[in-house]
Chains A and B, each alone.
Chain A
Amino acid sequence: QKEVEQNSGPLSVPEGAIASLNCTYSDRGSQSFFWYRQYSGKSPELIMSIYSNGDKEDGRFTAQLNKASQYVSLLIRDSQPSDSATYLCAVNMRDSWGKLQFGAGTQVVVTP
């Protein structure tokens, strides 16, 4: 069983629509959660971090965290072709403090 799981996709989203990405994790004691964006052939870059239950908004991105259900999600509103990328969920797990566990990533394709 993978410790951080994501649907691999591709997730096809029409331009202007909302993209919804989900991530589940195994360690109930995990405290911090992150979303990275990775364009093809490039390195990952941090786009969102969330530490407490609820929603956190930053521009067109909203991260949602539910620790009781052990999932974290990312919403991308008004999706643009430039949002086409792979989105990596990362979790700081209690038993590997300071070492992020990454999911395999969800590929998002925004179609004009």
Chain B
Amino acid sequence: NAGVTQTPKFQVLKTGQSMTLQCAQDMNHNSMYWYRQDPGMGLRLIYYSASEGTTDKGEVPNGYNVSRLNKREFSLRLESAAPSQTSVYFCASSKTSGGNTGELFFGEGSRLTVL
């Protein structure tokens, strides 16, 4: 019963390097999300995907790209990492999208440090 699986759990990058965070869910959920969490800032939405084939920007999309590969997988790419992208990244999924969406299931998080 894996739920939402993120990889890698830890990563250290140098400024300018690129990387992709992978996320997969096995709950047959339609919607998937990428959040970042910084001290004192709470969770901020980077991108989300309401359904397979669609993506939308969240609150802090600059410097990131996403791909909804299929219903199960939603990846987050940093093309040229910057120290300001040092954060903990959470992938989440939910069964539905729209007004009552709120029951999110989170992955364990990926801690990224950019030097």
Q: Are A31 and B99 in contact (CB under 8 A)?
A: yes
- A34 nearest CB across to chain B (Å): 4
- What number of A-B contacts does a CB cutoff of 8 Å give? 66
Q: Are A45 and B106 in contact (CB under 8 A)?
A: yes
| Secondary structure dominating the interface of B | loop
Other-chain residue from A43, A46, A105 in contact with B103 (beta carbon distance below 8 A): A46
Chain A residues 1-18 with CB under 8 Å of chain B are 4, 8
Q: Are B40 and A104 in contact (CB under 8 A)?
A: yes
The yes or no answer to A102 lying at the interface (CB within 8 A) is yes
Interface residues on A, range: 20 to 34
On A, residues with C-beta under 8 Å from B are: 4, 8, 31-34, 36, 42-46, 49, 51, 88, 90, 92, 97-100, 102-105
Further contacts, 17 of them, CB under 8 A, given A34-B102, A92-B99, A92-B102: A8-B40, A32-B100, A32-B101, A34-B103, A42-B109, A43-B106, A43-B109, A46-B102, A49-B102, A51-B100, A92-B100, A92-B101, A98-B99, A99-B48, A99-B59, A102-B43, A104-B40
